[in-house]
Structure 1
Amino acid sequence: MSYFAVKHAHMMFAMISIVLFMLRAWLAVPSPARISNKLLKILPHVNDTLLLLCGIWLAVSLNQIPFGNSPWLTAKVVGLVLYIIVGTIAIKRGKTQGQRLVAALAAIAIFAYIYGAAVSKSPLSWLAL
C-alpha cells in the first residue's frame, strides 16, 4: 500500500473519530445511558484501531520514533493518551453533567492540538504555524 493511501486513510479515520466522539458526547453529556445503540459502542473502537494501525504504519515507514527522534510524534502520542482519558470522563466516567461537558470540550481541544501537531510537525501544534 502506498504512503499517500495510508496517510489519507489515517486522516479519514481521524476525522471519523472526532465526529463519532462528538456524537457520543452529545448523547452522553446529559446522561451516559443515552448511548444504548450497539453500533455507537463498537464502531468508534474499530475506527480508532484502524486509525492507530495506520499511524503505526506511517511512523515505521518514515522511521519516526516517538520518545526518540520525533518530538512532534511524541506530542501526538501523549495527546492521544490524554484524549482517551478525558474522553472516557466525557462519555461515561463523569459523575455530573457539568463534569462530562467540561471533559468533552477538553477532549475536543486535545484533538485539535493533536491535529495541529500533525499538520505543523511540531509539539507547539498550531503555535508553530
Structure 2
Amino acid sequence: MMYSGLKHLHLSCITLSLALFCLRFYWRKQNSSMLQIKWVKILPHGIDTVLLVSAISMAWIASINPFEQHWLAAKILALFAYIVAGTFAIKRARTARGQNFSFILALLCFVYIIAVAISKQVLPFFHSM
C-alpha cells in the first residue's frame, strides 16, 4: 500500500514538474515577468524535491540498488542531464538557439527517463539503422 501511494505521488509530481518546466520555458521565450514571481521560482523546486524523495523511497522499499540495477543508474544519469539542459533552457542560455536546443535536449532526456522507467532496461539514445 505504501509503495502504491508513493508511486501515485511520484507520477503526479512528474506531470507537474514537466508542465511547469514547459510553462517556464514559454514564459522565458516571451520575456514574461511571470518568471520573477516568487511562487514560480520556489514551486518547481518543491515539486522536484518531493519527486526525488518519492523515487528514493520507492527504491528503498523495493530494495533496488542503482549500482546493481543499471536501468536505475541510467535514469539517474539522464536526470542529471535533464537538470543541466533545463537550467540552460530557462536561465543560462543567452541566445534563442541555445534556449531552444537546451529545451529540446531536456525533453529528450525526459522521454528517455520515462522509457527506461517503463522498460526497466538501459536504452541506447540512438538505434543503429
Q: TM-score, normalised by structure 1?
A: 0.90
- What is residue 96 of structure 1 aligned with on the other side? 95
Q: Kindly indicate whether the alpha-carbon contact (under 8 Å) linking 1:113 and 1:125 is maintained by their aligned counterparts in 2.
A: no
Structure 1 residue ranges without an equivalent (≥5): none
Say what the alpha-carbon RMSD is for the aligned residues.
Answer: 1.9
Structure 2 partner of 1:8: 8
Do residues 43 (structure 1) and 43 (structure 2) align? yes
Instruction: Give the partner amino acid of 1:28.
Output: R
SS of 1:35 mapped into structure 2: helix
**Residue aligned with 2:36, SS:** coil
Q: Is the 8 A contact 2:6 2:54 kept in 1?
A: yes
Alignment: residue pair count: 126
TM-fit CA distance, 1:3: 0.7
Per-residue CA distance 1:83-102 (angstroms, 9 max, x = gap): 00000000000011110111
Task: Confirm or deny that 1:65 pairs with 2:77.
Answer: no
Alpha-carbon spacing, 1:114–1:125, altered in 2? closer, same or farther (3 Å)? farther
Distance in 2 of aligned mates of 1:120 and 1:14:
17
* Corresponding residue number in structure 2 for 1:115: 114
Q: Deviations over 1:20-42 (max 9, x none)?
A: 10001111135486512211111
Counterpart residue type for residue 17 of structure 1: S
Classify 1:51/1:93 alpha carbon distance in 2 versus 1 (closer, same or farther; 3 Å).
same
Q: Secondary structure at the match of 2:118?
A: helix
Q: Percent identity?
A: 36
Unaligned ranges ≥5, structure 2: none
TM-score normalised by L of structure 2: 0.90
Shift, 1:106, TM fit: 1.0
